[in-house]
Each structure stands twice: as C-alpha cells, then as structure tokens.
C-alpha cells in the first residue's frame, strides 16, 4: 500500500489541481459504481432488492417538498436533474408536451458497467425508484430502454 501512495505522490497530477468538472465526473462514476454494485449484490434475492429500492425511495422523498402539488413536467424535471447528478446526459427534453418526456443517455456509463462486469440494466432499478418517487408526488413515471443505450422517460398525473 505504501508503494502505491508513493506512486501517487510522485505522479505529475496534483490533487489540488483537479477541476470541479473532473471531481464531478469522478463522483458520478463512483455513484454509478456504488449503485450498480449494490444492485448486482442484491440481485439474487428479489425480496431484498425490492426492500432496498423501496427504502431508497422512502429516504429520497424526505428531501422533496411533498406538501406542494407536483405537475407531471415538474416531477420529470426533478427526476431528470437527479439522473444528471448521477452522470446522465439529456439527449432530448420535451417538458411542454403531454405527457412530458425526457430522453437520457450515459446512465449507466456502459463502459463502466462493462469494466465492472455488471449488466448495464442493473441501473434500471434507479428508474424503478423514480417510479416510486413519482407516485409519492401524485404522478406516475414510465420509462423504456432504447436500443442505443438511451432511456426515455414520461411523467403523467396519477
């Protein structure tokens, strides 16, 4: 371990020189890896996996204003923002449409999933958490995986 620390110390990259963008990208990769790894580890036990998803949704919703009425576009915008925080790229956003829709890519980063040896569809549990959040906000979320590693999301009133 000490040798590795010395290697890092000798590296030309000064940790203090990392940009905010580089640190954000690393945080997004770490978040995706943590989520994918947890979903993979819990995958063989569907009851435990369901309990984990439900618990995460119950925890996440505490940070949302549930006293206000949420319109479908507002629900979708909030979810898309959270997915971007995980590293998603918005390919197309149509918040004014009925129903509003967003298409995202890079969730998960397929190269990361491949490097981890985890099926990219393990990230779909994040969208199932989004379904639960939307329901708790008085709406519904539907999503479909595209052939080009995109996810199309739509929100509607419940």
Q: What is the CATH number of the domain that holds 86?
A: 3.30.1380
To which H or E segment does residue 31 belong? helix 20-42
Count: domains in the chain: 1
pLDDT (tens digit, 9 = 90+) per residue, 89-138? 999 999 999 999 999 999 999 999 999 999 999 999 999 999 999 999 99
Tokens of 150: 């995109």
pTM: 0.87
Task: Flag whether 8 is in a domain.
Answer: no
Where in the sequence is the domain holding 121, given as residue range(s)? Answer: 20-157
Q: Is 88 helix (H, G, I), strand (E, B) or coil?
A: coil
3-state secondary structure 65-79: CCCCCCCHHHHHHHH
Task: Flag whether 43 is in a domain.
Answer: yes
Task: Flag whether 5 is in a domain.
Answer: no
> Cα(89)–Cα(155) distance, rounded to whole angstroms?
18
Task: Flag whether 60 is in a domain.
Answer: yes
pLDDT (tens digit, 9 = 90+) per residue, 21-33? 999 999 999 999 9
Task: State yes or no: pLDDT of 14 exceeds 70.
Answer: no
What confidence score (pLDDT) does residue 15 get? 63
Task: State yes or no: pLDDT of 152 exceeds 70.
Answer: yes
List of residues 6+ apart from 140 with CB closer than 8 A: 131, 134, 155, 156, 157, 158
Task: Flag whether 2 is in a domain.
Answer: no
pLDDT averaged over every residue in the chain: 92
């Amino acid at each position: 371990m000490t040798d590795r620390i010395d290697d890092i110390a000798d590296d030309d990259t000064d940790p203090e020189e990392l940009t905010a963008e580089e640190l954000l990208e690393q945080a997004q990769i770490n978040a995706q890896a943590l989520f994918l790894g947890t979903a993979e580890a819990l995958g063989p036990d569907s009851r435990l996996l369901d309990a984990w998803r439900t618990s995460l949704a119950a925890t996440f919703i505490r940070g949302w204003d549930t006293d206000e009425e949420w319109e479908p576009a507002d629900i979708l915008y909030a979810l898309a923002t959270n997915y971007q925080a995980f590293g998603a790229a918005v390919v197309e956003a149509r918040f004014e449409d009925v129903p509003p829709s967003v298409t995202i890519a890079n969730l998960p980063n397929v190269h990361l999933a491949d490097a981890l040896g985890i099926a990219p569809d393990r990230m779909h549990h994040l969208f199932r958490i989004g379904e639960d959040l939307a329901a708790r906000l008085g709406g519904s979320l539907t999503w479909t995986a595209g052939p080009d590693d995109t996810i199309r999301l739509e929100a509607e009133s419940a």
